[in-house]
Structure formats: structure tokens, C-alpha cells
Chain A
């Protein structure tokens, strides 16, 4: 890459990180009812370094944000910044999840 100004999308960056998804176990879940009833700040969307949390669109959405674990880097930020205890956070099972090689 040259020094030309370029913004990388988070998906392009995450392609470089090895992650083994556990299809039998969601290590993080959120409670959309809590998000809907209580949240005005949506800290998870702003804090997550892998953009796993996104604002939902449309009337029929269960809550204001949706969560997708595929690219989770297991940093723990969402557990800590959520002000309403909506994030149920666990480590992935042994051997699953992110596998850093150069960090």
C-alpha cells in the first residue's frame, strides 16, 4: 500500500484475523427487550471494535440493536459498557473463537 489516503472497512480488516466459529454455542447474547425498554445510549454500537452491534431498521425489529458474533474478538468491551446488563457474556468454549498469530 502507498501512503495514499485510504480507509479500510472493518470487514476487510477482520478478514485477516483467524476466527473459528462454534455453531453449537453463542458465547454472547443480548436481551432485545431490555435494550428496547431502557437504552438510550447504545454504548455497545460505539464501543465494539469489530462492529458486531448494529442499529436495526424497520418497525418489526425486536430491539434497537442487533448482535452478530461471527467477528467477535473477545475483547469484553460490550459486557463492560452496556449500562443495563443486557449483554450476557461468556468466553467461547476452549479452542473456539479468535486465534491471534501476530498481536
Chain B
């Protein structure tokens, strides 16, 4: 290595994006360091969380043989619509997802991030926890390293994997100050429940598990709840559109407590003991919130680049983080080979990323973020559908109505039809 540089590549942040890049580079024998501000990788991080098995398998083949890597694999998906006193759940049993590499797995971030960082470390990467990068080292208009306190660390290429708070990405002039409407606030609670009770309550065995997305009952604030089973814990939380809270003068913490007190949620969490409360901000994602992906001496991956999708029923970011991190690692190998670190060369990363599902999905779903700002989806429709079922099922001593007639009457009296048609079309084209 040339004397000017301490490392070939310096990565800021040991989340899934940073760790994926570090693993790929270390496996190629490249000298790479990961700087992480947390007490350990994962200490600052929060997710639901579900990951796609094939994406992880692409990075760590046969990951499931390592019991530390995941909590449960998903075989049941539930979607619930809640209104004040009612709820309706669609329950999809996906036992064909029992095959490895598993379609979906659940993880807890403090454990998962640490596991993935240890993989990178074993391959030869250096992981430095307790280290907050405050700024870059610049040489003319090129980034040539990072600064933490008094210390400077020089690297040929810097990969920003700092997550949703784009402090450094802004400093590198690759993103502007954030707009509130691009973000959602997410609150999470983790509960302890003995394995046996999880198995009985959710009808799962072995490492099988369930996910449950929950719409409605968030006091008209666009957003949605999530629920996942882990080995012997439950993950539960609520995601709310950040901008709408002040508009409605509702506090995030109060909306969450209210949501949690719905009888449907109380049943999910019955007898479970809360062991942690956490919160994080989620980029609503989509194409519009993408940062610039490369600059002189620098590339950006994962949430820092805005690569996430938060569309109520879809909540993804780790998949994009893992994939963009992996691609950044591959691209960095080529950039190092070219020995040119200007924009012309770092552009390789964007070109490679464009071919991947990560970029393609963001393009496909570019209207989803907009669709999710539509309050009717979150407040009106869950109410409507629960009301309809109430009407169909309630026995009031009179002859029952035909389902189609009841549905039409119920919907016509409660909805502006044109708006509803617009919402349906909007929904179909955006999702």
C-alpha cells in the first residue's frame, strides 16, 4: 500500500450496508476498515424486522447453518385492518416458504449486525466501534479519508453507510437538508414471551414464524403497524408519517399507546413482558429521495442513499442496504484496480447498481411513497371494511341482505365513489 493511505477503503457505519461492503472487500484481500459510532455494531439500530433470505444468501451462502444469523423464517403473513372496535385479518399460510434459503427471515438488529460484522472481521476487515466520524479529509475537491476527534484516517475510497441521518452525506455535498415529508417516525417495543407460548399462540413449530402488518387505528395519521415473531421475543411497532403529527396536533407517543390498546394488539401481546423501547427514522424512500450515489473519492450505500421503501404494507431497507453494500464492494474492487478515484471512476458503482433489483424496485415503486400520503387509505378504508363486515354478520332479526347489495349500499353511503376509484387506481399503479 502507498504510504499516503492507512487503508484502501474506509466505511462509515457497521449496519447491513456497511458490513456487506466490508465483507466483499475483505474477501478480496483489500484493506478495509469500518468505523462505527455505536458501542458495538447494531447498538444504534432498529428494524422490524424481516429480510429476504435469498438476498442474505447471496452475501453469506448457507447463512441459515449459523444459528446466530436469524430468529425465525416466515411461513405466515397476516394483514390486518383495524377500526375503533373491530378488526379484520387476512391470513396467508405459506408453508412452501419452509425451504432454505427461506423467502423471509426475522432478525433483531443488535444481534444480526454483530453477526454480520463478525463475518467481515473473520474475512480480514477491521471493525472499530465507539468511533464517530465527524468529517472528511479533503484533498482539493476529493475525499481522501475520515476524521474522528483529533484523529485522521486516510483511505483511497470512502463508503458512506451512515443510515437514515445523512449528516456526512450532506457534508460530502451529495444530499441536501432533508424534507420532513420524505420521512416517517418509527417506534418499536420488544417483548419477551417463552418459545412454547409463541408456538402455541401463532401455530408455528421449529424456526417457523409470522409477520403481521396492521393498518388503521392510528388516529388518521398515515402509517402502519408491524408485528414479528422472533425465537423467544416479539417485535411490535408503529410507523407514522412525521409531517402529519403536528398538523393534527397529535403526539407520536400517544398515538402509539392508543394503537397498542386496541383489543387485537392486546391479544397479540398478551402476557408478554416488554424488555426494550426503541425508535428510529425511516426514509419513506422511493426514487425522489435518492442522494447522489457517488462523488470524488466517495460512494453512498443503504439508507444514507435513501434506498428504502416504506409503503405501509411494504417496509424494506435492509434488503436494499445488503444489496447496495454488496454491489458497492464489487464496484470498489474495480475502482481500486483503475487507481482512479474521481467521479468518472466511482460512477462504476451507480452503473452496477442500476442493474440490480434494488434500483429497479425503487423505480417500480416510485409512486408508492405518494400513495401512502393518502389519509383515506389509513383511516377511512379500514373503518369502511370493518363496517361492511359488521353489517353482513350482525343478526338483527331481519332477513339478511345479499352480500353484493350490502357492500354496494355500505360503500355508497360512506364514500365519495370517484375518490375511491381514484384511490384504487392509484393503489394498483403505485404498488
| Chain A residues engaging chain B, CB cutoff 8 angstroms | 1-3, 5-8, 10, 13-14, 16-17, 41-43, 45-51, 73-77, 79-81, 83, 85, 89-95, 97-103
Contacts and interface: CB of A to CB of B under 8 A. Distances in A.
A76 B164 contact: yes
20 contacts: A3-B270, A10-B253, A17-B278, A49-B186, A50-B279, A75-B279, A75-B280, A80-B179, A80-B242, A89-B167, A92-B37, A94-B148, A95-B129, A98-B278, A100-B42, A100-B44, A100-B45, A101-B110, A102-B190, A103-B190
A100 B46 contact: yes
B221 to A, nearest CB: 10
B267 interface: yes
B37 A91 contact: yes
- Report the 5 A-B pairs with minimum CB-CB distance, sorted nearest first: A49-B279, A95-B130, A43-B246, A103-B278, A76-B165
B46 A49 contact: no
- Chain B interface size band reads 35 or more
Interface of B: 37-39, 42-47, 108-110, 129-132, 148-149, 164-165, 167, 177-180, 183, 185-190, 233, 242-243, 245-247, 249-253, 256-257, 261, 263, 266-267, 270-281
A85 B185 CA distance: 19
Given A3-B267, A81-B180, A94 B37 contact: yes
Nearest to A72: B279
A95 B246 contact: no
B38 A48 contact: no
Contacts of B270: 2-3
B276 to A, nearest CB: 4
A95 B39 contact: yes
A94 B278 contact: no
B44 A97 contact: yes
Given A80-B281, A91-B167, A100-B43, 17 more contacts: A13-B277, A41-B247, A46-B246, A46-B249, A49-B252, A49-B253, A73-B279, A77-B281, A81-B183, A81-B245, A91-B165, A93-B149, A95-B37, A98-B278, A100-B276, A101-B110, A102-B110
A76 B132 contact: no
Contacts of B164: 76
Main secondary structure of the interface of B (DSSP, over half): mixed
Contacts of A14: 277
Nearest to B263: A3
A100 to B, nearest CB: 5
Contacts of B167: 89-91
Nearest to A27: B132
Contacts of A101: 43, 110, 276
B79 to A, nearest CB: 22
A67 B393 CA distance: 51
Contacts of B250: 46
Given A2-B270, A102-B190, A77 B242 contact: yes
Contact of B277 (A6, A17, A48, A95): A17
B253 A51 contact: yes
B180 A99 contact: no
A2 B276 contact: no
Interface centre among A17, A47, A89, A92 (most CB of B within 10 A): A47
Nearest to A10: B253
A42 B113 CA distance: 35
